[in-house]
Amino acid sequence: MVASFGPVALAVAIATVFGLLPLFLSGIIVPKKPDSVKNATYECGVETIGPTYIQFRTPYYLYALLFVIFDVEAVFLFPWAVAYRQLGLFALAEVAIFIGLLLVGYAYAWRKKAFEWT
């Protein structure tokens, strides 16, 4: 485990250092003169009206729900794909049923116009 996944963890650590290094370096040499105009939101543009954190359209969240369904499905398909040759046609039928169930939900979302952006 450690022998195969350890290098990935090391890579994450080194990539973090690689990202922090230029930030640290530029932090030393760059000018720091904040003022209320320069650090305003959307400086040099028209000021936005009202609070930024407003309610968002619900379709964004519909996509999130659908994504969870299909991404979990995709994760389940990986072990199936690896072991498919040993499992044979029975596994194909099982996966067809599994995806079929999800496709019912997919068809329902399609009919309910979850994919329309109006």
Partner 1 sequence: MSFLSCPFPALVCNPFGLARDGIYGLLAAIVPEPLPTVALTVLGIAMLIAIIALTVMSQVWVERRAVAFLQERLGPNRVGPAGVLQSVADVLKLLLKEDLIPFKADRATFVVAPLVVLVPSLSVWSLIPWGPGLAIADVNVGILLVLAIGSFTTLGILAAGWASANKYSLLGGMRVAAQLISYEVPLVVSALVPVLWAGTASLQGIIESQATVWNVFVLPVGPIAFLVFLIAGIAEVNRSPFDLPEAESEIVAGFHTEYSGMRFALFFLAEYSNSLAIGALAAVLFLGGWQGPILPPYVWLFFKAYAVFLILVWIRGTLPRLRYDQLMHFGWKVALPISLVTLGATAVLVSAVQGTAA
Residues at the contact surface with partner 1, assessed by CB under 8 A: 4-8, 10-12, 14-16, 18-20, 22-23, 25-27, 29-34, 36, 38-43, 45, 48, 52-53, 56, 59-60, 63-64, 66-67, 70-71, 74-75, 77-78, 81-90, 92, 95-96, 99, 103, 106, 110, 115-118
Helix, coil or strand: residue 5: helix
Query: 104 or 116: whose CB is closer to partner 1?
Result: 116
Q: For residue 6, how far is the Cα from the chain centroid?
A: 24
| Minimum distance, C-beta of residue 101 to partner 1, in the bound complex (Å) | 13
Query: 29 or 104: whose CB is closer to partner 1?
Result: 29
Query: Could you tell me if residue 49 is left (phi over 0), alpha (psi between -120 and 50 degrees) or otherwise beta?
Result: beta
| Minimum distance, C-beta of residue 91 to partner 1, in the bound complex (Å) | 8
Using CA atoms, how far apart are residues 39 and 85, in angstroms rounded to an integer?
A: 60
| Minimum distance, C-beta of residue 14 to partner 1, in the bound complex (Å) | 5
Query: 45 or 104: whose CB is closer to partner 1?
Result: 45
| Minimum distance, C-beta of residue 13 to partner 1, in the bound complex (Å) | 9
Instruction: Tell me the longest C-alpha to C-alpha distance in the chain.
Output: 69
Alpha helix ranges (H) inside the chain: 2-29, 59-87, 89-111
Using CA atoms, how far apart are residues 18 and 20, in angstroms rounded to an integer?
A: 6
